[in-house]
Amino acid sequence: MLFLHAFLNCASIVESLYCKKQNNSIMIFRYLLAIVLCLVMTQGSFAQGIDFFKGSFDEALSTAKKEGKLIFVDAYAVWCGPCKRMAKTVFPDEKVGQFYNKNFVNIKMDMEKGEGLTFRKKYPVSAFPTLFYIDDAGQVVQKVKGARQAEGFIGLGKQALQKADRSGAYLEEYEKGKRDPEFIYEYIRALNRAGKPSLKIANDYLKGQKDLTTPANLNILFEATTVADSRVYSLFIKNREAITELHGAAAVAERIELACQGTVKRAIEFQSEDLLEEAINKMERDYKTKGDSFAAKAQMDYYLAMRDADAYLDASKDYAKEVAKDNPEELYQLSAELTNHFRKNPSVMKEAEKFAGKAAKKGGDNYRYYLNYASILNMNGKKSQALKAAQKSKEFAKSEGPKAVRMVEVIIRSIQES
């Protein structure tokens, strides 16, 4: 439904443009490209979005304390329009999800029933939505009224992390010579929470330790493992069994993936294929069940940042094989991603057409899969095939309602006149 809501908004824009009756084929083709861009921007690429906590607020506080995170609370009302827009267009955004899932325990509460009524007695709410950023002691770090778009919402989260940054106080104690393990652990946690580098502090401490297997030192290894291209990561893996006994297998696996993702980011920052390979190799060695899918996605991210169409295409084929497989939604998103970034590359567009066609065939009666397929076929100069796919889309769109049908009709007319 998220897709349909924004997709039909795109429809109204394009239909109004079309109705101006500009019979220039180039203009019509641009309209078609606009539709594809709407598809991509609405759905996002391989979007995960915010993973909202399922327990109570007290349980969220406990989790935040354990994980060293802040709590983000979406204080909403069911009738609130801006609340609904954030839920439909901002919370599912991939970049938003990556940032908030890493840094916050996220929870949604209806302020007019259930636990929301209790929550607002302690944390007053006078407008919807109200966005709370709360530390693990239950103190409000930041409170903001009103909805935000994705980038602005990420900006709010960064502001909250900066306001909650306690690393300065720890630095003063560190410079005075404080080095006990509990202090070092909390200092590293504060640095990580604030998005500041913590490897030097960890390395300096660990160099002086004769026994890394104490619970305190194992906790430090766990918290300090932020990138895979580091001595700390090697020590983490060497002591993996003991760390697993303390934190559990799932947490250890998550930390491995986080560290490998951190090295992929460094690979992009320094334009280093060696770092990319290191991240992939360590993920395949240390987290075998996700190694292949991680490799394909990491390569796609890296080669997209490098604007290397050929390497990106190869990585996308691996992703289709390892992750998308016969999943029509994954295939659809992959085809849209290829089209969005490299539509002028014939080899890329040929592969995008294959993925879109497979998504349409595997997706049953989903009209948007066929509409995406029709758009890509037309871009590739296959007008008659594009019209057939668009007609199928129109038949399936009838179950979605008249707006969806009109949307498809606009595309059909644009294909006919292109």
**Which residues share a beta bridge with 74?**
108, 131
Catalytic residues: 80, 83
Take residue 322 and report the two structure tokens written for it. 């390892």
Alpha carbons 337 and 107: distance in angstroms, whole number: 30
Number of alpha carbons in the 13 Å side-chain half-sphere of residue 390: 23
Alpha carbons 240 and 218: distance in angstroms, whole number: 9
Alpha carbons 377 and 413: distance in angstroms, whole number: 15
Cβ neighbours of residue 138 closer than 8 Å, sequence gap 6 or more: 61
3-state secondary structure 302-333: HHHHCCCHHHHHHHHHHHHHHHHCCCHHHHHH
Task: List strands edge to edge, sheet with 140-145.
Answer: 104-110, 70-76, 130-134, 140-145
Alpha carbons 96 and 154: distance in angstroms, whole number: 6
Place of tokens 């490998």: 260
Q: Which residues in 177-195 are b (16+ Cβ under 10 Å) and which e? A: eeeeeeebbbbbbbbbbbe
Alpha carbons 375 and 33: distance in angstroms, whole number: 8
Q: Which of 100, 120, 103 is nearest to 112 (CA)?
A: 120
Take residue 164 and report the two structure tokens written for it. 């909650």
Instruction: DSSP letter for 78, please.
Output: T
